[in-house]
Amino acid sequence: MLTVFGSTALDTIRTPDRVLKDVLGGAATFAGISASFFVDTGLIAVVGSDFPKKYHNILRKHLDLKGLAVHKGKTFRYDGSYDETLSTRTTNKTELNVLGSFQPVVPDYYRKSKFVYLANNDPDQNTKILREFDKVKFSMCDTIEFWINSKRNSVIKMIGSVDAVVINDEEAKLLTKEHNLIKCAKKMMSWGAKYVIIKKGEHGSLLFFDDVIFPSVAFSLEDIVDPTGAGDSFAGAMIGYLASKNSTKLSDIKKAVVYGNVMGSFAVEKYGLAGLIGLSKAMIQKRIKKYHLMTDF
């Protein structure tokens, strides 16, 4: 199985065309649900007593919730606005609420997870929780500007404790203080990560392992309505695919990246989680085939 640890949120997302208020979101929600199309996935997260039942039901449909704590208080809330190009997001408000004091516990049933994804949590918490698993075969983490600015050394330590880092291009540059993405990846590998995956949004991604660079394009889309969760969906699909193959072979990691690109493309086509939760395995396979056709030369 795969365990995903991270945030479950109530998001307010403002796009040029629509405002979504208090919708189900969070890095672990997107990553977990994306992964769930490939493998049994457990979620470690916390929500407040205000967390709507309908969202519980969505999570339950896709994920094992033994690791989901419900604490008294309000759920973590995020409020952000996209500009008219949908490529720049401004944070209006972040309310940690119950997430602020959350001490995650790994349920016994999850300790046997061979695949673990640590979404963009506090890097110290990520490093710590990883030790609670019995026999991890492949661990992957993401991080965000907030932690890079506030706990850079902890982020570097976390990168030394996982197998793979998946990170946005801008955050990779901020973290490593390099401009060139190959230099960024080399620095993260020097800190201990065996694999580095740099996400470039509409431009696809770069996978690094030893001397290998695998650049891949995004699945081209004309109608993008809400980029929220695309990167998390990418990461969840990647590790979910690998967990389903129980593999860490480079050839499978490349395929996993392609699944990441494809699941990221589904995420941005609809608002909030709608792009993911309406999917079937057949729809995913169909787009994977299209991806192959599209990139073939």
Q: Are strands 41-48 and 9-14 parallel, antiparallel or unpaired?
A: unpaired
Dihedral sign for Cα atoms in the order 97, 268, 113, 58: positive
Closer of 134 and 170 to a second copy (Cβ) = 170
Q: How far apart are CA 33 and CA 116, in angstroms?
A: 14
- Shortest distance, position 123 Cβ to a second copy, whole Å: 26
Nearer CB in complex with a second copy: 122/226: 226
- CB atoms under 10 Å from CB of 86, counted, come to 18
Residue with Cβ nearer a second copy (6 or 201): 201
Looking at the Cβ atoms of 101 and 180, the one nearer to a second copy is 180
Nearest to a second copy of 277, 288 (CB atom) = 288
Backbone angles phi, psi at 249, to 5 degrees: -70, 145
Of 293, 277, 276, 195, nearest in space to 233 by CA: 276
The residue (of 88 and 92) whose beta carbon lies closer to a second copy is: 88
DSSP character string of 217-239: PPPP-S-----TTHHHHHHHHHH
Q: Residue 115's beta-bridge partner residues?
A: 2, 138
If the CB atoms of residues 191 and 208 are measured against a second copy, the closer one turns out to be 208
Measure the CA–CA gap between 110 and 5, rounded to whole angstroms: 11
Minimum CB separation from a second copy for residue 213, in Å?
A: 5
φ, ψ for residue 52, nearest 5 deg = -65, 145
Exposed, middle or buried, 212 (CB in 10 Å: 0-12/13-18/19+)?
exposed
Contact 272, 24 (CB under 8 A): yes
If the CB atoms of residues 106 and 225 are measured against a second copy, the closer one turns out to be: 225
What distance in Å separates the CA atoms of residue 29 and residue 99, rounded to the nearest whole number?
14
State the residues that interact with a second copy by CB under 8 A: 84-87, 179-183, 186, 200, 202-204, 206, 213-218, 220-224, 251, 254-255, 257-258, 294-295, 297
Segments of 153-220 assigned E as strands:
164-168, 195-199, 205-209, 212-216
